């Protein structure tokens, strides 16, 4: 360790300037080894992060499909409980909403089968069944028989 004087002062400086030893390649090698471990850690963690991100998107897609089908069943049941609405009108409206929302291969079932025999406060049920395959992005498409089924029941309104 050598003491140097600062050029603008004539007395020795209290700051000690250390010279780096000539064999500083060892420290550089340790730094490069640390960069290599960062790449290895990234290679391990990055696929897990991508898996979590894509599975979150896929689950959100399935939840969106369920919510859309429930909304369509609600709209159909709301139409069906009105006074003189025919069963086929409810089915046609639900099918047009399924098409408008982009749900493929969806089926609509309305009970009772004959709307002319039901009275006030009798239940009207609209059920919608749609396969996950073709309606979600990736993960649910792997299941062969994955079907979503929702139903909404309302009471027939008074009057009309």
| 71 three-class SS | helix
Lowest mean pLDDT among 28-37, 53-62, 72-81, 89-98: 28-37
pLDDT value at position 115? Answer: 82
Domain ranges of the chain: 25-155
Measured distance CA(18)–CA(4) in Å, rounded: 9
Residue 17 is predicted with a pLDDT of 58
Give the residue with greater pLDDT, 78 vs 36.
78
pLDDT at site 33: 56
- In the chain, at which residue ranges do the beta strands (DSSP E only) sit? 107-111, 123-131, 147-155
Is residue 18 scored above 90 in pLDDT? Answer: no
The whole-model pTM stands at 0.70
More confident residue, 138 or 132: 132
Using the predicted structure, report yes or no on whether residue 50 has a pLDDT greater than 80.
yes
Q: In the predicted model, is pLDDT for residue 114 greater than 90? A: no
Task: Kindly tell me the burial class for residue 97, based on how many C-beta atoms sit within 10 Å of its own C-beta (0-12, 13-18, 19 or more).
Answer: buried
Q: What is the pLDDT of residue 110?
A: 95
């Amino acid at each position: 360790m050598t003491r140097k004087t600062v050029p603008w002062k004539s007395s020795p400086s209290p700051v000690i300037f250390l010279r780096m030893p000539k064999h500083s390649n060892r420290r550089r090698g340790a730094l490069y080894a640390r960069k290599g471990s960062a790449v290895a850690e990234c290679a391990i963690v990055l696929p897990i992060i991508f898996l979590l991100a894509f599975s979150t998107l896929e689950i959100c897609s399935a939840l969106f499909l369920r919510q859309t089908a429930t909304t369509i069943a609600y709209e159909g049941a709301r139409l069906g409980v009105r006074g003189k609405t025919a069963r086929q009108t409810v089915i046609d409206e639900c099918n047009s909403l399924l098409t408008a929302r982009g749900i493929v291969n969806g089926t609509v079932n309305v009970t009772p089968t004959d709307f002319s025999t039901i009275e006030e406060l009798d239940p009207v049920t609209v059920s919608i069944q749609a396969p996950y395959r073709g309606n979600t992005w990736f993960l649910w498409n792997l299941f062969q028989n994955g079907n979503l089924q929702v139903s909404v029941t309302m009471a027939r309104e008074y009057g009309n």
